[in-house]
Amino acid sequence: MTRAQLRQTAWLTSFGDRTVELVCKALQAEWGVFFLLDETSAGYGYCSRGAPADLPLRYTAQNMELHDPLHPRRLAQDQRRFTTIFDPSLFADSRSRNEQRHFWAFLQSFGARDAAEMIFWNGPRAVAGVSLIWRNKTSRCRDIALAASLQSYIEFNLVGPSSGLPAGAPAAHMDELTSREHQIASLVCKGCTNAEIAKLLGVSLATVKTHLLHVFSKANVNNRAALAHYMSLRATSRQPRLRTS
């Protein structure tokens, strides 16, 4: 990844922080996560606001991607924009209804009362999104006009920077990651802080930092946003090989 691309990714991370703050406040959502999408609609560069640290870990552990009707890849395939968890078109058959119920039960275990996904487009390509969860009864999730206005405003400001996102996997070769390094890199890609990773894995903060430095070195990157982008693109080209030591 070039220095220009790293600066571009860093700018988008800052943009993500501001975007998730704006959308959550405008639609009165307690939790929100901004993310970028690569050319396969896989997420990276997560910026979280309020979401509990163990949510992404439990999402992965319970294979929620298989049941999530609001998964960005599904929504991008259907060319959707702002979609709520109870949109009838998401579960038109018995299988999709079962998936919706399964995923909704997962969200309710975190106290969710409502949820939605906003996908941002640059022409024909989905380039980013925001996941939203409401925990209070007073939700503006159903204010479709307000959501549409926010979405158009954010897309207008995102078009230029998103056009410069690299479309393919980096040319640099990463040494094999240990299983612990890959675990930590995956949690970084889901937006977890070092302190959250240490708590989730039951290790010290210093241990997390040491592993992360090794991962940065192997990936030839120097920040979390660049690592998230690298890992996302690398996953599309081949499955990572893990060492046991």
- CATH 1.10.10.10 occupies which residues in the chain? 177-243
Write down the architecture of domain 3-163 according to CATH. 2-Layer Sandwich (3.30)
Q: Could you tell me the pLDDT band of residue 211, with boundaries at 50, 70 and 90?
A: confident
Mean pLDDT for 109-116 is: 92
pLDDT at 185: 86
Mention every residue, 6+ apart, whose C-beta is less than 8 A from residue 79: none
**Looking at residue 108, what is its pLDDT?**
93
pLDDT value, residue 241? 42
Can you give the pLDDT at residue 170?
Answer: 44
| Average pLDDT of span 60-70 | 88
Q: What are phi and psi of 31, to 5 degrees?
A: -120, 145
Q: How far apart are CA 101 and CA 185, in angstroms?
A: 31
Answer whether residue 72 shows pLDDT above 90. Answer: yes
pLDDT (mean) for 11-38:
88
Residue 80 has pLDDT above 90, yes or no: yes
**Mean pLDDT along residues 207-219:** 85
Say yes or no to pLDDT of 36 above 50.
yes
pTM of the model: 0.67
Helices (DSSP H) in 42-124: which residue ranges? 54-61, 72-77, 94-108
- Give ranges for CATH 3.30.450.80 in the chain: 3-163
In this prediction, residue 233 carries a pLDDT of 64
What confidence tens digit (pLDDT) does each residue in 116-132 have?
Answer: 999 999 888 898 999 99
CATH of 177-243, one of 1.10.10.10, 3.40.50.970, 2.60.40.10, 2.60.120.260: 1.10.10.10
